[in-house]
Amino acid sequence: MIEDLDASMRIRGIDGIVGYGESTLADPDLTYVVGGTLARGGFYFKKCGNRPLLVVSNLDYGSAKRLGKVKSVQTLTQWRYEMIQKKHPEGYDAAARLVATILRHEGVRGKVVLFGRNDLAKALRFVHSLNRLGVQTVGERSPTLVETARDTKQADELQHLREVAARTGRVVEYVAQSLRNAKEKRGHLQLRHQRATIGLVKSIIASKLAGEGLLAPEGTIFAIGPSGADPHNAGIPTAEIKKGKLIVFDIFPQAESGYWSDLTRTFLLGRADSKARKMYEAVENAQADALDYLRAGVTGESSMHRACDVIEGAGFPTVRRIYSGRATNIASGFIHSLGHGVGLTIGESPYLSFNGRPALKAGEVVTVEPGVYLPGYGGVRIEDTVLIKSKGIESLTHVEKELELT
């Protein structure tokens, strides 16, 4: 949580942090500290132990105040930025002078961490100017100060995450309902009087996403049959929906709040064969076990081992073979990790994987998404986004899990 910043800064010996960017778009750290979206970005300052200061363009002053995350908002004009620019028109020199002046004013004298997604070619010039002005910048390992703060979510963030999860759920339910209404005509399934192709379903998904005010900048996976066996195959637009074929529907949209949700359902039209049913059962059991097991204090690593136990117990290989050195590659079975953090990005710490060493903390939000894949046949993955609590989890996803859409 953002309140953890001071403690982390003290531990790391950091006197001040400065975040900046020309926009908050696609910049999770800057979005986080300012509390939302600012069209023209801005400069965020915080001295260890003090309250932060946000300096933005005149045009974004009202928006920054409305976001309310930073109480002290000032404008670039108040710091005479236009005058500084006139005097120092070269590249990032003006910005460096502005930042050095404000840091001095805020009493920052020690090490300074910079953050925010910026083009390195220009940023390195800015840093060089800052250093010449006496600002002592230092780099950070991952997880950085802001990443660490972002890890556990506060009430307002959870509200955003619940909201985007609910909207995402409505998209999935709407698509499932549309598929249930598909009609067979001359040997082809039809949706909305057209042949039921993946492309058509994707356009239905896109419209419904738009209607829910969601964006899916990284796409949506809707893959049928053998394509579903490759977790990175987003689906072949010309492929037709056919009865009895497994469909992996993995959707990961972002709301205007900046928060994401991640949800996968696997289903098929008509009747499942015994192979599909066996895969589905293994994945369903692994997920149920994980949802039951996860809570603050357990590690991502141990949850991953348990998921492998369940899936291996059902007769499928798992990625543990690689981890334990018994294989160098694995193409079938459970071939990825159990989950990852979700927040202002769609993939962040903590990781429910063999690398997930630290104990999970209350307030973390993660996906739980075991899967089983059979090349040439298809895949099954079931994924919910859940909140880690001290005594268990609370699922943010509320969508039925059923293999056969009837």
Nearer to its own copies, 216 or 294 (CB): 216
Nearer to its own copies, 79 or 92 (CB): 92
* Sign of the Cα pseudo-torsion (161, 162, 167, 170, in order): positive
Whole-angstrom Cα distance, residue 163 to residue 157? 10
Burial (CB count within 10 angstroms: exposed 0-12, middle 13-18, buried 19+), residue 243: exposed
Nearer to its own copies, 170 or 277 (CB): 170
DSSP character at residue 360: P
Nearer to its own copies, 118 or 287 (CB): 118
CB of 271 to its own copies, least distance (A): 32
Residues in the chain: 406
CB of 283 to its own copies, least distance (A): 22
Whole-angstrom Cα distance, residue 46 to residue 60? 20
Nearer to its own copies, 160 or 202 (CB): 202
CB of 201 to its own copies, least distance (A): 13
DSSP character at residue 372: E
Say if strands 72-75 and 53-56 run parallel, antiparallel, or are unpaired: parallel
Interacting residues with its own copies (CB under 8 A): 25-26, 29, 39, 59, 90-92, 113-128, 137-142, 144-146, 203, 206-207, 209-211, 213, 215, 217-219, 232, 256
Nearer to its own copies, 206 or 288 (CB): 206
Residue 210's CB: how many other CB atoms inside 10 A? 12
CB of 239 to its own copies, least distance (A): 17
CB of 72 to its own copies, least distance (A): 22
Nearer to its own copies, 121 or 155 (CB): 121
Whole-angstrom Cα distance, residue 310 to residue 279? 12
CB of 212 to its own copies, least distance (A): 9
Long-range Cβ contacts of 135-138 (<8 Å, 24+ apart): 135/96, 135/99, 135/100, 135/103, 136/110, 136/111, 136/112, 137/111, 137/112, 137/113, 138/14, 138/111, 138/112, 138/113
CB of 18 to its own copies, least distance (A): 9
CB of 123 to its own copies, least distance (A): 6
- Which H/E stretch holds residue 6? helix 5-12
**Strand positions, DSSP E, 121-276:** 136-138, 183-185, 188-191, 194-195, 214-215, 220-224, 247-251, 254-255, 263-269
Nearer to its own copies, 142 or 274 (CB): 142
